Amino acid sequence: MHSTEKELILDNTAIQHRILEMGEEISRDYQNKELLVVGVLKGAFIFMADLIRAVSIPLTIDFIQVSSYDGGSDSSGSITLKNSPGHPIKDTHILLVEDIIDTGLTMRWLVDYFTGQGAASVRVCSLIDKAERREHKTRIDYIGFSIAKGFLVGYGLDYDEKFRNLPAIHHLKL
């Protein structure tokens, strides 16, 4: 078992403030467009719930579940589709909502997936950007925070399915 020692990185007040700003920006950008917000399960569900409440325009929500982890802290390097959205994708403006983007593998796969399904547009919103770990070119249209180092947990982010329920973001000392 790994240590559960944690260091606070972002408190809930800072997170909520940034989400309100992102919601305003998304509302402006998608004014007069049919918007489908797709959360990437499981990690994005907490962030997405707060984000959609900060968006002032009509929208529809759905979820997709993919996996590149087999538990633990290291990616397997391949993507497995576990659950696809039920909402029609063709000619719809998609906003993918993710908790964290590091290597970019999952997001690159998701953008290609929705583009291939005939989406009118696909944009990406991530609470955390860890650009220094990027291995696959990925455009992130809405970034909550850029954090350089550490294995992050809390506010939906997990380690082996634990710590998602923490109301703030912490660096888990492995």
Within a domain: 162: yes
Q: Which residues partner with 46 through β-bridges?
A: none
The domain tally of the chain equals 1
For the residues 137-159, what does the mean pLDDT come to? Answer: 93
- Provide the residue type at 165 as one letter: N
Within a domain: 74: no
pLDDT for position 164: 95
Q: Which residues of 52-71 are buried (b: 16+ CB within 10 A; e: fewer)?
A: bebbeeebebbbbebbeeee
The CATH number that applies at residue 153 is: 3.40.50.2020
For the residues 26-48, what does the mean pLDDT come to? Answer: 96
Within a domain: 1: no
In contact, 36 and 62? CB cutoff 8 Å: yes
pTM of the predicted protein model? 0.91
d(CA 167, CA 82): 27
Identify whether 99 is a catalytic site residue: no
Within a domain: 123: yes
Mention every residue, 6+ apart, whose C-beta is less than 8 A from residue 49. none
- Provide long-range contacts, Cβ within 8 A and 24+ apart, for 148-153: 150/7, 150/9, 151/73, 152/9, 152/100, 152/128, 153/6
Q: Which of 99, 102, 129, 158 is catalytic?
A: 102
Within a domain: 109: yes
In contact, 163 and 99? CB cutoff 8 Å: no
